Amino acid sequence: MAIKEKRSVILWTLLIVVVLALAYLTVRSLTTDTHYYVQQVSVEGVPQDRQDRFKTLVKPLLNRPLLSLDIDQVAQEILAEPWVSEVTVQRVWPDALTIIVQPQELVAQWNDQYALNRFGEVFSVAKPLKGTVKLYGPDKSQVQSYAMFQQFQTLLAQEQLVISSVKQAGDGEWGLTLDNGMQIEIGSKHVLTRLQRFVTVYPKVFKSNKAADGRYVDLRYAHGMAVSRGQTNGKETG
């Protein structure tokens, strides 16, 4: 009986050794065989103006062992690019990687040279953004400018008016240009109250008058407003 038990232990020991040896050889084969080196990298979601930069980023990944490649580190290196919001890196057997990029959502242009994401972070862009508001203001005031734009647009949306640009002067005065060409000077005090006053009178004073497009409106009055054709000192109403 003791001999049988001893033989059984020996057999199980040999079996375990064989399994471990096969596992070791398999892993070694996968990590050393050139068949399992990265031969291609497919990329999704990269904007056209970032294609060249991204090719530079992924080029070092080619011919690296697929199994031992640290894909978390690869993802972190890509996330270090300021224009990248999220990234997923996946192994595709037997010799490829798939990288899926979610770019930053750019919501505004800033001083004609940069773009903003929804958190107010600034990014350089190769060409002007289309379909976004233009913001102008002093350095490091982009967060405030975007927040004010959102409040201004909420008020103007009551009359289906759309802002094309917002300007904050160094002295804190605010000005708007609408997509119909109308320019609105709001000033630095009671800006939301003044703009609401404009929205209230808009249906009677401007909405039925197509000639209102392109006019200059000055809201920097305690009561009422001044209106002129173009940015002049002539006043039509007060």
Spell out the domain ranges in the chain.
1-32, 34-103, 106-229
Instruction: Dump pLDDT digits (tens) for 56-94.
Output: 989 999 999 988 899 999 999 999 887 888 999 999 988
Q: Could you tell me the pLDDT band of residue 237, with boundaries at 50, 70 and 90?
A: very low
What is the chain written as a DSSP string? -HHHHHHHHHHHHHHHHHHHHHHHHHHHHHHH-GGGB--EEEEES--GGGHHHHHHHHGGGTTSBTTT--HHHHHHHHHTSTTEEEEEEEEETTTEEEEEEEE--EEEEETTTEEEETT--EEE-SS--SSSEEEE-STT-HHHHHHHHHHHHHHHGGGT--EEEEEE-TTS-EEEEETTS-EEEEESSSHHHHHHHHHHHHIIIIIT-GGGTTEEEE--SSSS-EEEESSSS--S--
Residues 6+ apart with CB under 8 A from 13: none
User: pLDDT digit string (tens) for 186-236?
Assistant: 999 999 999 999 999 998 888 766 655 668 999 999 888 898 876 544 444
Supply the CATH classification number for the domain 106-229: 3.40.50.11690
Q: What's the average model confidence in pLDDT over 159-177?
A: 95
pLDDT 10s digits, 19-33: 777 777 666 665 555
- Architecture of the domain defined by 34-103: Roll (3.10)
pLDDT at 166: 98
pLDDT of residue 231: 56
Q: What percent of the chain has pLDDT over 70?
A: 85
| Residue 6 clears pLDDT 70, i.e. is over it | no
